[in-house]
Structure 1
Amino acid sequence: MKKNLPLAILSGLLLWIAWPPTPYTTFLLFIGFVPMLLAVENIINDDKPKKGRRVFNVTFIGFFIWNSLSVYWVYNALKIVGELVAVPITLIPYSLGPLLMAAAFWLYYRLRLVAPRWVALIGLVCFWIGYEYLHQSWDLYFPWMTLGNGFAVAHQWIQWYEYTGVYGGTVWIWAANILAFLIYIGFREAQTKKNRMALSGALLIVIIAPIGYSLSVYSNYVEEVNPSNIVVAQPNIDPYEKDGTIPPALQVDILIHLSRQVAQPNTEFFIWPETAIPAPVYINEEQIGQNTFIKQAQFFLRKYPNGNLVTGAETYRLYNNRATPTAIPSPFGGDQFADFYSTALNLENGDRIQTYHKSRFVPGAESMPFGEALSFLKPVFEHLGGATGNYAPDKDAKVLYSQSGIGVDPVICYESIWGGYIARSVKKGAQFIAIITNDGWWENTSGKDQHLQYAKLRAIETRRWVCQSANTGISGFINQRGDVVKHTEWWTKTAIKQDINLNSELTFYVKHGDYIPQAGSILAGIGMIFLLGMRLRKKQTLTA
Structure 2
Amino acid sequence: MTKNILYALISSILLWLAWPPTPYTSPILLFGFLPLLIAIENIFQSNWKNKGRKVFGIAGLCFLTWNTACIYWIWNASPEGSIVAYILGALLMSVAFYLYYKAKTVTKSYVADFLLIGFWIGYEYLHQTWDLNFPWMTLGNGFANVPQLIQWYEYTGVYGGTLWILVSNILLFNIWKAYRSKVHIIKLIFSFTIWIIVPVVYSIYVYNNYEEQKNPSHIIVVQPNVDPYQKYLGSPLQQLDNLIQLSRDSAKFNTEFIIWPETAIPEYLDENKIRDTRIFYTIQQFLSNYPNATLITGAETVRIYQDEATPSAKFDKNSNMYWDSFNTALAIENSGKVQFHHKSKLVPGVEKMPFSSALSFMKPVFAKFGGTTGGYGYQDHPTVLYAKSGIGVAAAICYESIWGNWIAEYIKKEAQFIAIVTNDGWWGNTSGKDQHLDYARLRAIENRRWVARSANTGISAFINQRGDIVQKTEWWNPAVISQEINLNSDLTFYTKHADIIVFPFLAIGIFGLFLVITKSRKTAKE
With the length of structure 1 as denominator, give the TM-score of the two structures. 0.94
Verify: 1:300 aligned to 2:286, yes or no: yes
1:262-301 → structure 2 map (5 Å cutoff): 262-278=250-266, 281-301=267-287
Moved more, 90-99 or 415-424: 90-99
Once superposed, which parts of structure 1, at least 4 consecutive aligned residues long, lie more than 6 Å away? none
Quickly say closer, same or farther: Cα 1:388–1:239, change in 2 above 3 A: farther
Shift of 1:397: 1.6
Verify: 1:162 aligned to 2:154, yes or no: yes
2:377 maps to: 392
* Matched letter for residue 132 of structure 1: E
Q: Deviations over 1:48-87 (max 9, x none)?
A: 1111111111101100000000000011123xxxxxxx41
Verify: 1:69 aligned to 2:69, yes or no: yes
1:256 maps to: 244
**Separation in 1, partners of 2:510, 2:438:** 32
Partner-residue secondary structure (3-state), 1:282:
strand
Q: Deviations over 1:400-419 (max 9, x none)?
A: 11111100001000111000
Partner-residue secondary structure (3-state), 1:477:
strand
**Separation in 2, partners of 1:250, 1:380:** 39
1:318 maps to: 304
Partner-residue secondary structure (3-state), 1:457:
helix
1:90 maps to: 82
Moved more, 388-397 or 228-237: 388-397
**Separation in 1, partners of 2:27, 2:310:** 48
Task: State whether residues 283 and 316 of structure 1, in contact with CA within 8 Å, keep that contact through their aligned partners in structure 2.
Answer: yes
1:445-460 → structure 2 map (5 Å cutoff): 445-460=430-445
Task: State whether residues 308 and 346 of structure 1, in contact with CA within 8 Å, keep that contact through their aligned partners in structure 2.
Answer: yes
Shift of 1:24: 2.4
1:329 maps to: 315
Task: State whether residues 227 and 501 of structure 1, in contact with CA within 8 Å, keep that contact through their aligned partners in structure 2.
Answer: yes
Task: State whether residues 366 and 388 of structure 1, in contact with CA within 8 Å, keep that contact through their aligned partners in structure 2.
Answer: no
Question: In the alignment, which of 342, 346, 354 is matched to residue 327 of structure 2?
Answer: 342
**Separation in 1, partners of 2:139, 2:364:** 38
Partner-residue secondary structure (3-state), 1:461:
helix
Verify: 1:15 aligned to 2:15, yes or no: yes
Verify: 1:197 aligned to 2:176, yes or no: no
**Separation in 2, partners of 1:53, 1:359:** 39
Shift of 1:251: 1.1
1:217 maps to: 206
* Matched letter for residue 431 of structure 1: Q
Task: State whether residues 318 and 330 of structure 1, in contact with CA within 8 Å, keep that contact through their aligned partners in structure 2.
Answer: no
Identical amino acids, percent of aligned pairs:
53
1:411 maps to: 396
Shift of 1:385: 4.3
Q: Deviations over 1:386-409 (max 9, x none)?
A: 367310111112211111110000
Shift of 1:124: 0.1
Q: Deviations over 1:337-363 (max 9, x none)?
A: 211100000001212110000000111
1:82 maps to: none
Partner-residue secondary structure (3-state), 1:372:
coil
Partner-residue secondary structure (3-state), 2:144:
helix
1:81 maps to: none
2:450 maps to: 465
Task: State whether residues 219 and 257 of structure 2, in contact with CA within 8 Å, keep that contact through their aligned partners in structure 1.
Answer: yes
Task: State whether residues 307 and 322 of structure 2, in contact with CA within 8 Å, keep that contact through their aligned partners in structure 1.
Answer: yes
**Separation in 2, partners of 1:134, 1:327:** 26
Task: State whether residues 131 and 354 of structure 2, in contact with CA within 8 Å, keep that contact through their aligned partners in structure 1.
Answer: yes
Shift of 1:336: 2.2
1:415-426 → structure 2 map (5 Å cutoff): 415-426=400-411
Quickly say closer, same or farther: Cα 1:170–1:388, change in 2 above 3 A: farther
Quickly say closer, same or farther: Cα 1:74–1:524, change in 2 above 3 A: same
**Separation in 1, partners of 2:370, 2:352:** 14
* Matched letter for residue 511 of structure 2: I
2:39 maps to: 39
**Separation in 2, partners of 1:92, 1:163:** 33
1:362 maps to: 347
1:83 maps to: none
Verify: 1:437 aligned to 2:425, yes or no: no
Partner-residue secondary structure (3-state), 2:229:
coil
**Separation in 2, partners of 1:388, 1:45:** 51
Task: State whether residues 92 and 140 of structure 1, in contact with CA within 8 Å, keep that contact through their aligned partners in structure 2.
Answer: no
* Matched letter for residue 69 of structure 1: A
Task: State whether residues 136 and 143 of structure 1, in contact with CA within 8 Å, keep that contact through their aligned partners in structure 2.
Answer: yes
**Separation in 1, partners of 2:84, 2:417:** 32
Ranges in structure 1 where 5+ consecutive residues have no aligned partner = 79-85
**Separation in 1, partners of 2:60, 2:247:** 48
Q: Deviations over 1:82-120 (max 9, x none)?
A: xxxx41x22332011110100001111111112111110
**Separation in 1, partners of 2:42, 2:418:** 48
Shift of 1:4: 1.1
Quickly say closer, same or farther: Cα 1:171–1:386, change in 2 above 3 A: same
Partner-residue secondary structure (3-state), 1:3:
helix
Give the number of aligned pairs.
Answer: 526
**Separation in 1, partners of 2:299, 2:140:** 32
1:110 maps to: 102
Shift of 1:128: 0.3
Partner-residue secondary structure (3-state), 1:436:
strand
Task: State whether residues 106 and 520 of structure 2, in contact with CA within 8 Å, keep that contact through their aligned partners in structure 1.
Answer: no
**Separation in 2, partners of 1:412, 1:505:** 23
Task: State whether residues 363 and 369 of structure 1, in contact with CA within 8 Å, keep that contact through their aligned partners in structure 2.
Answer: yes
1:228 maps to: 217
Ranges in structure 2 where 5+ consecutive residues have no aligned partner = none
* Matched letter for residue 22 of structure 1: T
Task: State whether residues 340 and 383 of structure 2, in contact with CA within 8 Å, keep that contact through their aligned partners in structure 1.
Answer: no
